[in-house]
Amino acid sequence: MAADAVTTLPDRVRDRFPILRSRTYLNSCSQGALSDSVRAAYERYLRDWDEHGSPWDYWVERMESARGAFAGLVGADLDEVAVTTSVSAGVSAVASGLRFDRGRSKVVVSDFEFPTIGQIWHAQEPRGARVVHVPEAPDATIPLERFEEAIDEETLLVSIAQVCFRNGSRIDVEGVVRLAHERGALVLLDSYQALGAIPVDARELGVDLLAGGTLKYLLGSAGLAFLYCRRDLVEEILPTATGWFADEDIFRMDITDYSPSRTARRFEAGTPPVPSIYAGIAGIELMQEVGIAETREHVQGLNEALIAGVDELGGRVVTPRDPERRGPLIAIRSTDEHALVAALERDGVITSSRDGNLRVSPHCYNSMEDIQGLLEALGRHGELLAT
Ligand SMILES: Cc1ncc(COP(=O)(O)O)c(C=O)c1O
């Protein structure tokens, strides 16, 4: 019995996250909790800096390890992965290399996108892009028919978020990919709100481009992200947003031409975020060790209980009920989401909010007691729940 209890989630990982001793932490959609191994990685970075001064060969090697970690995470090859400082940086590099003057000028953007993605596509309008939004239905899904109406033979690219940061809704990625590819369009998937919480395989999903970062369910911290680009697409995109780490030979130090790498490294830019690389690798390795598929099952169980509890309180869950149509994040309608987040924080429960919703995002380390504690607190602040 006792042995079983520590081999299942969350018991076997909880003591690796010190914050859980003092808080109920349910905000992994914003930032994963700090683990002992990510803390140790930062300490290792400082020690290496202290002891070796400027070990740049080693730090560049660490960057290659990060590339390997990201490639392993999404089932890609090393030459299909750019290591970037943010999703914005990778997607901007791709956007800068697209041409909108060859009969395909349309970019179809789902209304589930994070602001950065919408803004990057609209920033291409002076270059000839026409941005078309695919609206959300009242049930917080985007039905495939809406993509079917929007994607046509003039569409260059379809930009979708796997899990919406506002409402936790999960898009039918394979369905969108099928429609887009039938009509000759590329698909860019922003998987930030899924990575680490749901197994993600770029090839299985069939996407052409995929971006994400380490901040959330991958348990790293700010400053590290990646961009996957399907191998045979890489050389068709010539980024104009670039930098020396994108060059074919970084250390040739040539200021007389632009010869980008033949691999996805061409979507990189300047000096890599070394401290974040140490932390990011540690976070990804920890999630691989914990098990992402097992985490998905565990979180699903917690979220079933959460949804049932909110129903009982008379609250309104915005996230779709179908487990296939949602990610790890559950959004609950509030009459004043900022006041609700603040009230919960006073009760020792950390959450966040967006767009009128309380966001609750359990991870591998959360327990049923965490959910019960949250539900009790929601009961105490019932006036802040929208019915
Ligand atoms: C879906 C999604 N995409 C992107 C980002 C962030 O992008 P960036 O790395 O450019 O800050 C976030 C959250 O911060 C997100 O939730």
Model pLDDT for residues 90-143, shown as the tens digit of each residue: 999 999 999 999 999 999 999 999 999 999 999 999 999 999 999 999 999 999
Q: How confident is the model at residue 6 (pLDDT cuts 50, 70, 90)?
A: low
pLDDT for residue 163 is more than 50: yes
Q: Residue 116 to residues 2, 21, 91, 163, 225: CA-CA distances in angstroms? A: 47, 34, 9, 15, 14
Q: 228-243, pLDDT tens digit by residue?
A: 999 999 999 999 999 9
Q: 241-260, pLDDT tens digit by residue?
A: 999 999 999 989 999 999 99
What's the whole-model pTM score?
0.97
CA-nearest residue for atom 6, ligand 1, is 87
Residue-level pLDDT at 1: 42
CA of 224 to the centre of ligand 1 (A): 11
CB of 239 closer than 8 Å to CB of 267 = yes
CA of 196 to the centre of ligand 1 (A): 14
> What is the mean pLDDT of the segment spanning 334-361?
97
Of 192, 216, 267, the one to substitute when testing ligand 1's pocket (max ligand atoms within 8 A of C-beta) is 192
pLDDT for residue 41 is more than 80: yes
CA of 113 to the centre of ligand 1 (A): 9
Residue-level pLDDT at 159: 99
Assign residue 149 a region (left: φ > 0; alpha: ψ between -120 and 50; beta: otherwise): alpha
CA-nearest residue for atom 14, ligand 1, is 30
Q: Ligand 1 site: residues with CB under 6 angstroms?
A: 86-88, 114, 116, 161, 165, 190, 192-193, 213, 225
pLDDT for residue 352 is more than 70: yes
The mean predicted confidence, pLDDT, of the chain is 97
Residue-level pLDDT at 178: 98
CA of 349 to the centre of ligand 1 (A): 23
Q: Closest ligand 1 atom, CA of 222?
A: 9
Quickly tell me which residue has 């495939």 as its tokens.
144
> How many other CB atoms are there within 10 angstroms of residue 187's CB atom?
24
State both tokens at 259.
């010869």
CA of 115 to the centre of ligand 1 (A): 8
Q: How far is CA 79 from the centre of its chain?
A: 21
pLDDT for residue 5 is more than 90: no
CB of 244 closer than 8 Å to CB of 261 = no
Cβ neighbours of residue 320 closer than 8 Å, sequence gap 6 or more: 139, 140, 141, 168, 169, 170, 326
Q: How confident is the model at residue 7 (pLDDT cuts 50, 70, 90)?
A: confident
> What is the mean pLDDT of the segment spanning 50-63?
97
Of 28, 92, 116, 198, the one to substitute when testing ligand 1's pocket (max ligand atoms within 8 A of C-beta) is 116
Query: Inter-axis angle of helices 368-380 and 337-346, to 10 degrees?
Result: 120
In terms of residues, how long is the chain?
387
- DSSP-derived 3-state class of residue 158: strand
**Selection from 229, 216, 197, 254 nearest residue 82 by Cα:** 229
Question: What percent of the chain is modeled with pLDDT above 90?
Answer: 97
Of 29, 84, 91, 193, the one to substitute when testing ligand 1's pocket (max ligand atoms within 8 A of C-beta) is 193
pLDDT for residue 2 is more than 60: no
